[in-house]
Amino acid sequence: MPSLSTSEPIEFFDFLAYFDSRGIQYWTEGKNVSPGWVGIQCLWCGDKSNHLGINIDSKKFKCFKCKRKGLITSIVKEIEGCSTAAAHTLMREFLDYTMNNIRTRTVKNREYDGPILPEGATTEFLPIYLEYLEKRGFDPEKVIPKYQLMMCHRNTKNYNYRILIPIFMYGQLVSFTTRSISDSSDQRYKNCPDYRALRPSKELIYNLDTVNHTALLVEGPADVWRMGDGACSVLGTEISVSQINMIVQKNVRRAFVLFDPEPEAQALAEHFCNNLSAFIPEVFNLELEGAEDPGAMSDEDAKYLRQDLGL
């Protein structure tokens, strides 16, 4: 996994505000600037234009003239003539955790100007969708409004017979996923394509807004519904550097990983824990007994587990 330090505020560093404070000229569009990038004059070569490009999301840069590349930290060090530690301290003065910053950065890389949610999605649930939730042990009257679920029936292109699950971050809708109501479906979950979303799939954490100092990380949205506030999902069993950084920025001190009990899932859970333990003081892998997955637990068992974990 790429090196990452909790003292290195890459994800939320507002480098445009930093450039403004230092009088550094930059270009967000035009010659030499691709969508999702910002151009400046290279600091290391005799660049007379704006050949050094900085990726808005990854904070990586590359000069397309001298081929110099690296992380935004190196640019700060070069401008300030300082050490890495001093650059990190300075960068913390330009952190922006608000959704406005995330939205602005991502929309620049979003060529699609249509709505995030697919047309035809509705909050008017037909009985077969309510029955699916009840069969899974969920109370539709609670889970639908709490997670703002919607129904995609036969008039929803590409998402027919699915429950639509909006994904919010910092109180704003950024993407969605869907769950088939047919257990025989070849594709249980179908995600929003990145071009429609305000954040790409590997920069999303479902239900992250409810997490404080203790986080319970589970596989899918249904597991989140069962466990409630404090539970979140990276929408799969792999975690990206961006997702780890988002968890770290929430100041999580204790993390519990609760995946399905199958050997394959547990092997991934161990890998998941190893990645997290480099940045979070206490990380634990939990294994359930007698339940197919966390989403299949009873509400009573989930309540007791939450109490044990301090959620």
pLDDT score of 138: 93
The pLDDT value recorded for residue 47 is 87
Q: Is the pLDDT of residue 236 over 80?
A: no
Question: Pairing between strand 150-152 and 52-55?
Answer: unpaired
What whole-number distance in Å separates Cα of residue 83 and Cα of residue 76?
9
Residue 99 has what pLDDT?
Answer: 40
The pLDDT tens digits for 270-290 are 888 887 887 788 899 888 776
How do residues 143-196 score in pLDDT, each as one tens digit?
999 999 999 988 777 888 999 999 998 788 889 999 999 877 678 888 888 888
* % of residues, the chain, pLDDT over 70: 89
What would the mean pLDDT of 91-113 be, rounded to a whole number? 57
pLDDT mean over 201-213: 88
Residue 122: strand, helix, or coil: strand
Average pLDDT over residues 78-100: 78
What are the Cα distances from residue 248, in Å, to 9, 221, 266, 281?
10, 21, 23, 10
Mean pLDDT for the chain overall: 83
One-letter identity of residue 189 = Y
Give the bridge partners for 152, in sequence order: 162
In this model, does residue 103 exceed pLDDT 60? no
Residue 226 reports pLDDT greater than 50: yes
Buried residues in 5-24 as b, exposed as e (16+ CB within 10 A): eeebbbbbbbbbebbeeeee
**Residue % of the chain over a pLDDT of 90:** 30
Higher pLDDT, 112 or 293: 293
Mean pLDDT is highest, among 7-21, 100-114, 201-215, 292-306, for 201-215
Mean pLDDT (whole number) for 218-243: 86
Distance between CA atoms of residues 261 and 267, nearest Å = 10
pLDDT at 8 over 50: no
Q: Which residues pair with 70 in a beta bridge?
A: 61
Q: Ranked by mean pLDDT, which of 22-36, 80-94, 134-148 comes out on top? A: 134-148
What pLDDT is attached to residue 143? 95
Which domains, and CATH codes, for the chain? 15-107 (3.90.580.10), 112-200 (3.90.980.10), 205-311 (3.40.1360.10)
pLDDT of residue 6: 37
Q: Are 32 and 53 in contact (CB under 8 A)?
A: yes
Across 59-84, average pLDDT: 91
Least confident of 57-66, 136-145, 203-212, 237-246: 237-246
Would you state the pLDDT for residue 156? Answer: 75
